[in-house]
Amino acid sequence: MTTVEFTGSSWSVGHGRSTGQTADTGTISLVAGADGVSGSSFDVSDWSEAFIASWGHKGDGTNQAIADNWPIYRPGSLTTEVDWEFNSNHDGTDDDHMVHVLVNTLLNVTRFANTSNTQDTTAIGISSANLTDLAAAMVLGTSISSGPVPLTPGAGGTTGSPR
C-alpha cells in the first residue's frame, strides 16, 4: 500500500465508484466523499488541470484476461464524470470501478490518444504538451488490450502486463 498526501491549498480531490457493471463502457459520477458515493457532486471544472487515478477496478472473479480486468479511464463529457471503457473482448459480468480525480490549478495536463491498437511498442510524441521542465513532469499511460493475463514465463504463459 502507498499513501500519498498532496499538500498545499490548490489541491482538491473528487472520487467516484460504480458497482455491478456488465457493459464494456460506462460513466462514473464524481462526488466529494472518499467512498466515491457520498457527499456533494464534485466538479473538475477544467480537465487540463486534473488527472485521473484509477486504482480500484474489481472484476467478477471468473474472467481473468487483461480485456476483463484493465479498463481505460478518461474525462467524461461533463466535468462531473469519468468515462471507462474495456477492450471489446471484455467478458466481465459484475465489475466495480473506483476512481480519484486530483485537481490543481498549477497542473498542466495534456492528453494524447492513439487508437491504432498496434502490437508491441507504440511511440507517442509529447512535444505538443509544451513541457517547461521535464524533471518536473510525469507521464501516466493507460490502454486497453485483449492480451492474456500475465502468467509465469516458461509455463505456457506470457510476460504481458497491465498497460
pLDDT tens for residues 93-120? 778 889 999 999 988 888 887 766 666 6
Predicted confidence (pLDDT) per residue in 14-28, tens digit: 999 998 887 888 999
Structural domains in the chain plus CATH codes: 11-113+123-136 (2.60.40)
Rounded to 5°, angle at Cα 36 from 35 and 39? 85
Half-sphere exposure of 78 (CA within 13 A, CB side): 9
Give me Rg for the CA atoms of the chain. 17
Q: Could you give the residue ranges of the DSSP H alpha helices within the chain?
A: 66-69
Whether residue 135 contacts residue 141, with contact meaning beta carbons closer than 8 Å, is answered with: no
Q: What pLDDT was estimated at residue 149? A: 46
Residue of 89 and 105 predicted with greater confidence = 105
Q: What pLDDT was estimated at residue 90? A: 74
Rounded CA separation 65/138 (Å): 28
Ramachandran area for residue 79 (φ above 0: left; ψ -120 to 50: alpha; else beta): alpha
Q: What is the largest CA-CA distance in the chain?
A: 51
pTM of the model: 0.76
Per DSSP, 66 falls in state H
